[in-house]
Structure 1
Amino acid sequence: MSIAFTFPGQGSQAVGMGKDLADAYPEARAVFDEVDEALAQRLSRLIWEGPEDELTLTANAQPALMAVSLAAIRVLEARGLVLKDRIAYVAGHSLGEYSALAAAGTFSIADTARLLRIRGNAMQAAVPVGEGAMAAIIGLEQADVEAACAEAGKGSVCQIANDNGGGQLVISGAKPAVEIAARLCTEKGAKRALMLPVSAPFHSALMQPAAEAMREALAGVQKNAPSVPVVANVTVSPLTDPEDIAARLVEQVTGRVRWRETVEWFAANGVTTLYEIGSGKVLSGLARRIDRGIATVNVGGPADIEAFGSE
């Protein structure tokens, strides 16, 4: 029996997230202050007061979600948690992989905030607004979705960006190709093919300029071996070498988030409980659809902190 900590990705943000942690615990407040200073921005005010459309911007949502997750981690640590003594692995969904690495000590909180700001800006700038798109495909076999992407993406870009499990795949690429692929998926029997309200085609080959920006940014920060292995999005394997981790983070910008396989890997390697650290319950919901044998626990507010401490 072992535990893994998981960290949410974009889409889990909500105005007001983390405010109860900051009000209840000085260690949490210190994390938000550190992120504000690192970014030279009152991001904490935006997180707690909005407006929502500004918080949702990629360059804000990414460091904001990390701040909430790390605020929870610092409170747990102040109450006696030693990560390597209690936790077997960490993992995060897309940007959540950076939160996982900050929790495991690979990056400082300040460096993680700056990396995520660079990542958000670079991903937004990689493709002009309106030229890329993403769509969620529900209830269709992966092979059929792959075939639809291959047919629609001839001479263009269309690929699976996220394998979220529970019959949910997300495709990404050039807008015309994604629209064609979504229609083809419907014709192949998908229960739903829903265009997503996103500002860029994340985790597709069109993000290559952002991958190069992250290669440069990651080369310039201090990287430590994580205190526990991180299960990487693109390889679904536990990593401990800092340079290997950085290389996989670069690949992640254009590569597939293999979350279904990650949860399956946890189950196959003795993990019995997944703790989702931070805002929302998206990953817990996905995990339950992937493998009902794994227990899920959310740690996002003071009541969750107290419950964790009593275990």
Structure 2
Amino acid sequence: MRAFVFPGQGAQTIGMGKALAEAYPAARAVFDEVDDALGEKLSTLIWDGDIATLTLTENAQPALMATSMAALRALQADGIGIDSASFVAGHSLGEYSALCAAGAFTLSDTARLLRVRGRAMQAAVPVGEGAMAVILGLDLAAVKEVADEAASHGVCQAANDNDPAQVVVSGAKAAVDAAVEIAKEKGAKRAMLLPVSAPFHCALMEPAARAMAQALDGVEIRAPSVPVVANIEARAETDPTTIRSLLVDQVTGSVRWRETVIWMAGQGVTEMWELGAGKALSGMIRRIDRSVATRAIGTPDDIKAVLAG
């Protein structure tokens, strides 16, 4: 069994998806449709722009989704469709890519939702008042203890459970700074602040959750053709009403990626293909369950390798 998985923020690079667009008209059409939906040439920024501008949350989110969908459309053009996957899943914003891939959202709606999401998440907390930090070498239970201790300085939560030894905390700057020091005292191999502009996936994102509830109310969600494994539940969902609610909860809730991979493997998934930019999820998957085969598909050469077997 196969799953398609979709990367989240941090995977963006200048030039991503350009070779796909040049090699596959169907991939080019994805970027054209996203440009039209947003009323601007996001594709020009992606391929020829400035990395600092691309990394802005409001740009990175639709850009990464577009690149993932371009990879999927290129695969489809060579005969490998969404129906070849038993499940889809994505990391944070990647969940929107997964839902788009499975037909729950149109591509245009997905792009517009992610622009709203990116702007709302950035605006929820003034720059400098929030932070995120990655903690390496401690498991989720240990990091939750760290976050609970640091919460005396303000909001601090385990935001991303990425793999058995990588958990990200998010919250108020003073609390996250404290968590870094507490984690080191508790034996973390490394604990360091991340270069992000806002504290994602914690209670401080509540204003963004409200904005997404309003935005999602105005969009049709269809039943996905392939079950989507939701970030905050780490199990498959197909009901549009439930999906809408979970996407709102996802803004302030933890990304349970480690459990998502374990759940899919437990359902019989033996290979997971990462569609879009980078290979970060593939690395996490290998650290979670080495028996699961991975492929990262972001270029025409990657697709040729798949077709060659």
Identity value in percent: 62
Cα distance in 2 for partners of 1:60, 1:270 equals 36
Cα distance in 2 for partners of 1:142, 1:89 equals 25
1:89 to 60, 74, 87: 87
2:160 touches 2:254 (CA, 8 Å); kept in 1? yes
Structure 1 residues 37-48: aligned runs within 5 Å: 37-48=36-47
2:153 touches 2:178 (CA, 8 Å); kept in 1? no
Cα distance in 1 for partners of 2:153, 2:192 equals 23
Q: Tell me the residue number matched to 1:258.
A: 256
Q: Tell me the residue number matched to 1:6.
A: 5
Q: Tell me the residue number matched to 1:102.
A: 100
Cα distance in 2 for partners of 1:108, 1:30 equals 14
1:209 is the counterpart of 2:211: no
Partner AA of 2:167 in structure 1: L
Q: Tell me the residue number matched to 1:65.
A: 64
1:220 is the counterpart of 2:218: yes
Question: Match of 1:189, SS?
Answer: coil
Question: Once superposed, what is the RMSD of the aligned Cα atoms?
Answer: 1.0
> 1:155 Cα shift?
6.5
Partner AA of 2:89 in structure 1: A
2:276 touches 2:297 (CA, 8 Å); kept in 1? yes
Question: Match of 1:250, SS?
Answer: helix
Structure 1 residues 191-202: aligned runs within 5 Å: 191-202=189-200
Structure 1 residues 23-62: aligned runs within 5 Å: 23-62=22-61
Cα distance in 1 for partners of 2:305, 2:19 equals 15
Q: Tell me the residue number matched to 1:273.
A: 271
Mind listing any 5+ residue stretches in structure 2 that lack a counterpart?
A: none
Deviations 1:98-151 (A, max 9, x none): 000000000011000000000000000000000000000110132222112112
Q: Tell me the residue number matched to 1:243.
A: 241
Partner AA of 1:6 in structure 2: V
> 1:23 Cα shift?
0.7
Cα distance in 2 for partners of 1:186, 1:210 equals 31
Structure 1 residues 110-121: aligned runs within 5 Å: 110-121=108-119
Question: Match of 1:137, SS?
Answer: strand
Q: Tell me the residue number matched to 2:188.
A: 190
Segments of 4+ in structure 1 off by > 4 A?
none
Cα distance in 2 for partners of 1:13, 1:82 equals 24
Single out whichever of 155-164 and 291-300 deviates more from structure 2: 155-164
Q: Tell me the residue number matched to 2:167.
A: 169
Cα distance in 2 for partners of 1:108, 1:59 equals 19
Deviations 1:153-206 (A, max 9, x none): 136210000000040000000000111111111111111110111100000000
Question: Match of 1:164, SS?
Answer: strand
Partner AA of 2:165 in structure 1: G
Cα distance in 1 for partners of 2:62, 2:89 equals 17
Cα distance in 1 for partners of 2:304, 2:146 equals 48
TM-score, normalisation: structure 1: 0.97
Cα distance in 1 for partners of 2:69, 2:143 equals 36
Question: Match of 1:285, SS?
Answer: helix
Question: Match of 1:135, SS?
Answer: strand
1:286 to 259, 273, 284: 284
2:133 touches 2:169 (CA, 8 Å); kept in 1? yes
1:129 to 127, 131, 135: 127
Partner AA of 2:125 in structure 1: V
Deviations 1:73-110 (A, max 9, x none): 112222323322x1100000000000000000000110
Partner AA of 2:16 in structure 1: M
Cα distance in 1 for partners of 2:41, 2:293 equals 36
- How many residues align? The count is 309
> 1:296 Cα shift?
0.2
Mind listing any 5+ residue stretches in structure 1 that lack a counterpart?
A: none
> 1:47 Cα shift?
0.2
1:141 to 132, 135, 139: 139
Question: Match of 1:153, SS?
Answer: helix
2:72 touches 2:101 (CA, 8 Å); kept in 1? yes
Cα distance in 1 for partners of 2:26, 2:248 equals 31
> 1:257 Cα shift?
0.4
> 1:266 Cα shift?
1.5
> 1:307 Cα shift?
2.9
Deviations 1:203-253 (A, max 9, x none): 000000000100111110111110000000000110001111111111110
Question: Match of 2:220, SS?
Answer: coil
